[in-house]
Amino acid sequence: MGRARAGPSHRPTQPRARGGASVLASGTVKWFNEENGYGYIVADEGGRDLFVHRGSIMGDDWRTRTLLEGARVGFDLLEGGMNPAAIHVLPLAATGSP
């Protein structure tokens, strides 16, 4: 019997630790096409454009998963494939909010 060959690893990078707490990467939504369900986030670290798909936005109902241009988000970075991508995307609270 043949064994299946393992493909390239597409695992997310591990969250960085700062002061003992896990920290997601962060960035700003460059644009998001709600109709097609994808867009790009600009990472704070390195300034790279990262692909984001609606399925990578955290939430209970996929139909309401969307991102607003300019919104701050946290995410895990998925390296591999043609382009890096943001997964496990969560909106970050705006600073100065009550």
pLDDT tens per residue, range 13-27: 444 433 333 458 999
Domain that holds residue 53: 23-91
pLDDT tens per residue, range 63-78: 788 999 999 999 999 9
Q: 54: domain CATH number? A: 2.40.50.140
* 67-96: b (≥16 Cβ within 10 Å) or e: beeeeebbbbbbeeeeebbbbebeeeeeee
0.75 surpassed by pTM: no
> Average pLDDT in the 27-37 region?
97
The answer to whether residue 40 scores a pLDDT higher than 80 is yes
**Structural domain contains residue 2:** no
Report the number of distinct structural domains present in the chain: 1
What pLDDT score does 24 carry? 80
What pLDDT score does 46 carry? 92
